[in-house]
Structure 1
């Protein structure tokens, strides 16, 4: 084959250059020439050891994977690699096997949570329900209730307040023009030349006045 570079020639497919000539490529059993035709790779299910292709021994309950690095096989779902074999994962009651290669290899069913290697049933309190979260208590409170010491306590907004829908804090917020003080909503007192700010629970001075010591003054 002609080449526009170097000495104007290259070896045919299946041969490699050796000084000023071409020598045939010795392709071992269970191997094939690469697309370029000047190297060889092992077939799937075999790995290269020196100048030969040796069959990959896949253990029981394992399968071949196409990997350039690391192991050339993995264990089936429900099994974990143990030296040169695949050992069954011990799955507790109310759990199922996962495909992960880390952790316990299993997860608890919905409505259960892992406690000391077992799956313990989650029992939501009155006015609570099971959540889809894998962390925390595993349950949430119904609307208008919030969690307090393992129970769901009804949210009772004070006067001039409304239910905020938030699962954090008090669960209520003050109406515009009021601010939270302890467990009540106190009216925001506007000084002269001031108006409510965008939050609705504080005030700011009307231009050109500036806030100073609780009043609006001209500078």
Structure 2
């Protein structure tokens, strides 16, 4: 589960493993997670957010959509955030 590093003088763990002392251990991923860009950790899939060691679904209220990162939400145009919901931007 390891290969030579780019310099040929050391080693790195293959994708899906992380370095732990002198070993490569498999990345343990919860449901709704994928490997991170480095391949040595994990991130939640779009529509989920990290909470401890798990990925929980983002609760998107009415008149909202997932944010650009996919781990939160934003109100649709014409609405503004008020606590955990979206209300008309024209409402006082």
Alpha-carbon shift at residue 149 of structure 1 (Å): 3.0
Unaligned 5+ residue runs, structure 1?
1-126
Greater relative contact order (Cα < 8 A, sep 6+):
2
Q: Does 1:173 align with 2:47?
A: no
**Under a length normalisation based on structure 2, what TM-score does the superposition of the two structures give?**
0.80
Bigger radius of gyration, 1 or 2? 1
Equivalent residue runs for 1:1-219 within 5 Å: 127-133=1-7, 138-167=10-39, 171-219=41-89
Structural RMSD (CA): 2.1
How far is the alpha carbon of 1:203 from its aligned partner?
Answer: 0.6
Whose strand proportion is higher, 1 or 2? 2
Which residue is 1:86 aligned to? none
Normalising to structure 1: TM-score of the pair? 0.37
Q: Which runs of 5+ in 2 are unaligned?
A: none
- Residues 144 and 167 (structure 1), Cα distance of their counterparts in 2 relative to 1, 3 Å cut: closer
Aligned residues: 89
Structure 1 runs (4+) greater than 6 angstroms displaced: none
Change over 3 Å in CA distance of 1:133–1:218 after alignment to 2: farther
When residues 143 and 212 of structure 1 are mapped into structure 2, their CA distance, relative to the original with a 3 A threshold, is same
State the Cα deviation string for residues 149-173 of structure 1 (Å, max 9, x = none).
33211012211112234156xx222
Distance 1:133 1:181, change over 3 A: farther
